[in-house]
Amino acid sequence: MTRRTRPEPRPGVLKIEAYVPGKSTASGGDKLYKLSSNETPLGPSPKAVAAFHGAGDALALYPDGAARELRETIGAVYGLNPARLVCGAGSDEILNLLAHGFLGAGDEAIYSAHGFLVYRIAILGAGATPVVAPETDLTADVDAMLAAVTKRTRMVFLANPNNPTGTYLPIGEIRHLHKGLRPDILLVLDAAYAEYVRRNDYESGIELVATSENVVMTRTFSKIYGLAGLRLGWAYGPEHVIDALNRIRGPFNVSGAAIAAGAAAISDHAFTEHAAEHNEEWLPILKDEIAKLGLTVTPSVANFLLIHFPDREGQRAPDADDFLLKRGLVLRRVGAYGFPNALRASVGTAEANRALIAALGAFVKRGEA
């Protein structure tokens, strides 16, 4: 028996590859255009900023551990029962809480081949086994996910829309997936980009959660609401699931400033709609202009695009990334998602978007010389 000389994590922890965020700095350019993290280019609502500053007088006090004001505001906006809502430090925390609350050794959880990296981390962190289901046309395949279900399956994670592809499943496919799952399997619908979607056949999952005992929907304030720096998210689920999460989350897991700013942000409907309209204007422009350069772009309904590069010397994604960084443009490498020859670009300001189109044009032209 080997004698341990220092504390060691439980088996499996050191096999987890830590999540690596997108870069925040560039190596050149007169101005920085950060398009690596899908942040809103419009920033937060002025009302949210005012609420954040207003919370400064209470920094010495613990926040409301139940985040009652925020849950009630979310409930009012969406017509939901606040008792079926839980808030967290970003939807990432809630995804991890779900895994720790409902998964353990010997269990399996399914996600799609190019799904959000946090799913795998959360599953392994809970001591369970991740199961990857293949996709079709870079889109989650419901039948493939159902085929991956075994007697050990306890959870299915589905990002809709998905990150980093921007593809989505219509509500009919989501219902087909849910119908095919055993009632003891928890379906987690990650709708981080729901506010951007403009498709008649899309639903974030609210109605399905309302009528089911095994579906949870997670949302975030980090994208369209512009509160990524405060780390704030929420989930809507059956009361028995929310009860379990409340038992294992930290007692003050959401700060007072986040509660105040979140309530103000989600109540400012005009500002949110303005952000959605900006995205709706620029998403097709970026897609079309980049495609005209001869690059392949995966159709997206979110606030980002997945850009694929030719497999030619000097024209691959890492080459493009280096070229763009020298011009102040920071995109996201997505090799960890299975796309070593693609970059993900967030929709930015009009200035940033034009700069990206021009820089990509120069990069492609350089390769043709």
pLDDT (0 to 100) of residue 29: 75
- C-alpha span between 292 and 288 (Å, rounded): 6
Q: Classify burial at 224, counting beta carbons within 10 Å of its beta carbon; exposed 0-12, middle 13-18, buried 19 or more.
A: buried
DSSP letter, residue 21 = P
What domains can be seen in the chain, in order of their start residue? 13-43+270-368 (3.90.1150.10), 46-267 (3.40.640.10)
Confidence of residue 16 (pLDDT cuts 50, 70, 90): confident
> Tokens representing 134?
């293949």
- Tell me what percent of the residues of the chain surpass a pLDDT of 90: 91
Q: Give tens-digit pLDDT for 17-51.
A: 888 887 778 777 789 999 999 999 999 999 999 99
Q: Full-prediction pTM beyond 0.75?
A: yes
Q: Classify burial at 197, counting beta carbons within 10 Å of its beta carbon; exposed 0-12, middle 13-18, buried 19 or more.
A: buried
pLDDT (0 to 100) of residue 347: 98
**Identity of the residue numbered 239:** E
State the pairing for strand pair 135-136/139-140.
antiparallel
- C-alpha span between 193 and 224 (Å, rounded): 8
- C-alpha span between 187 and 177 (Å, rounded): 9
Beta pairing partners, 216: 188
